[in-house]
Amino acid sequence: MVDDDSGLFRREAVEAPAREGNVLDNPPPWTASLFWLLFAAIAVGLLYLTFGTISEYAEGPAIIRLEGRTQITAAAPGTIRRVYVDSSRPVAAGQLLLDLNAAQEDAELHRIDAEIEAQTVLLLQDLDDGDARQSLVRLRAQRRYAAERRRERSVYSPVNGVAGDVLLREGQYVQPGEHLLTVQSGDQRGTVLAFLPGRYRPLLQPGMALRLEPAGHKYSYQELQLAWVGDDVLGEQEVRRSLPSTLADTPPVPRPSIIVRATLPPSERTPDGLSYDFMSGGRPCLYHEGMQATAAVRVQREPILLRLIPALKAILENRHGD
């Protein structure tokens, strides 16, 4: 028996008979569920890395071009008396769009008509009156000229289409040749010119899908199709020279760039007859000449595992080449 009480263990513990027991095992009940949950998450992650894919997009700025636009200008100076058309409304060829103040022209027509009537009465009284006959010939020529001047005070649509933004107001003074409004022909649509990074040229082909997002209208996507892909990779100055002078400084083009083109689909109409090209926040919107946008074309798709481990991709390509 050990009598030394100065040891590390108590005497009672040392003298107690040896007994074997189990290791304490009392885990909480949720640990098993957590283990299987972690196992399932790891399995799903591995499957996603093995079979999931990631896409690469060629993305760049774009410009809307509306080739079917007809610019209507003032043929004569004057003050706008009345505007008969609203923005985004359909118009027909020959439809009256607006009138200029024509008081002077109307007075001139009334004067000539009165003289024609007087000379006609004189000629009917004496059919041999040569002066009255010559006066009628002269007055009819004057009336044709006055009627043409009166017609210049009214502006008509030359084509069927949709009126653009009507920013005119009654009482506004216009000069000859001044832009009045634009009519977008209904049988012609615009195009999208997109400027994508030049390194993607080998991967771009006509027929590929192009996703268009108008500037200022986030997530208002429109799916188009590439109609044409440029052959050459161009520098910034070459790209800007290919655009009209009014749009040359509009897009911040990448350097170098490849130019691609897609055709816009026809406009649609709301139940009340309002034309629109796309919806933004539940509201109908129209494309306009020179409007900026962002274009994206998916050029390739590959498994996530190959993207994470480029060496594996090289090994598979070499094996395929052999």
Q: How far is CA 207 from the centre of its chain?
A: 19
Answer whether 89's CB lies under 8 Å from 183's CB.
no
What pLDDT does 284 receive? Answer: 85
The three-class DSSP label of residue 97 is strand
Angle in degrees, 0-180, between the axes of helices 130-151 and 103-125, rounded to the nearest 10? 160
- b/e burial code for range 206-244 (CB count within 10 A of at least 16 → b): eebebebbbeebeebebebebeebbeebbeeeebbeebe
- pLDDT at position 243 is 74
CA geometry: angle 194, 199, 203, nearest 5 deg = 80
Beta bridge partners of 188: none
* Residue 85 half-sphere exposure toward CB, CA atoms < 13 A: 29
Do both 119 and 232 map to the same domain? no
What is the C-alpha separation between 233 and 239, in angstroms, rounded?
9
Domain that holds residue 218: 56-68+185-310
Q: Going edge to edge, which strands form the sheet with 96-100?
A: 154-156, 96-100, 78-83, 173-174
Residue 277: predicted pLDDT: 84
Measure the CA–CA gap between 115 and 136, rounded to whole angstroms. Answer: 8
193 with 147, same domain: the answer is: no
Q: Are residues 195 and 255 in the same domain?
A: yes
Tokens standing for residue 266: 């026809």
What does the alpha-carbon distance between residue 144 and residue 116 come to, in Å, rounded to a whole number?
12
Note the pLDDT of residue 2. Answer: 47
- Which pLDDT does position 18 carry in this prediction? 64
Instruction: Give yes or no: residues 134 and 196 share one domain.
Output: no
Task: State which residues of the chain have pLDDT below 70.
Answer: 1-7, 13, 16-27, 186-189, 244-251, 312-314, 316-322
Regarding whether 193 and 64 lie in a shared domain, the answer is yes
Number of domains in the chain: 2
Place of tokens 């009014």: 246
Query: Does 189 share its domain with 296?
Result: yes
Strands 173-174 vs 78-83: parallel, antiparallel or unpaired: antiparallel
Same domain, 199 and 132: no
Are residues 207 and 143 both part of a single domain? no
The H-or-E segment that residue 14 falls in is helix 11-15
N-term to C-term CA, the chain = 83
pLDDT at 280: 87
Q: Which long-range contacts (CB under 8 A, 24 or more apart) does 300-303 make?
A: 300/55, 300/56, 300/203, 301/53, 301/54, 301/55, 301/56, 302/53, 302/54, 302/56, 303/50, 303/51, 303/52, 303/53, 303/54
CATH number at residue 290: 2.40.30.170
What's phi and psi for 99, nearest 5 deg? -120, 140
- Which residues are registered as beta bridge partners of 161? 91, 185
Question: Are 287 and 262 contacting, i.e. CB atoms less than 8 angstroms apart?
Answer: no
The pLDDT value given to residue 229: 93
Q: Which amino acid is at 155?
A: V
**For 219, left (φ over 0), alpha (ψ -120 to 50), or beta?**
left
Which pLDDT value is given to residue 223?
Answer: 93
Is 164 a domain residue?
no
In degrees, rounded to 5, the angle at the alpha carbon of residue 106 between the alpha carbons of residues 105 and 109 is 90
Question: Do 274 and 131 share a structural domain?
Answer: no
Residues 64 and 113 in one domain: no
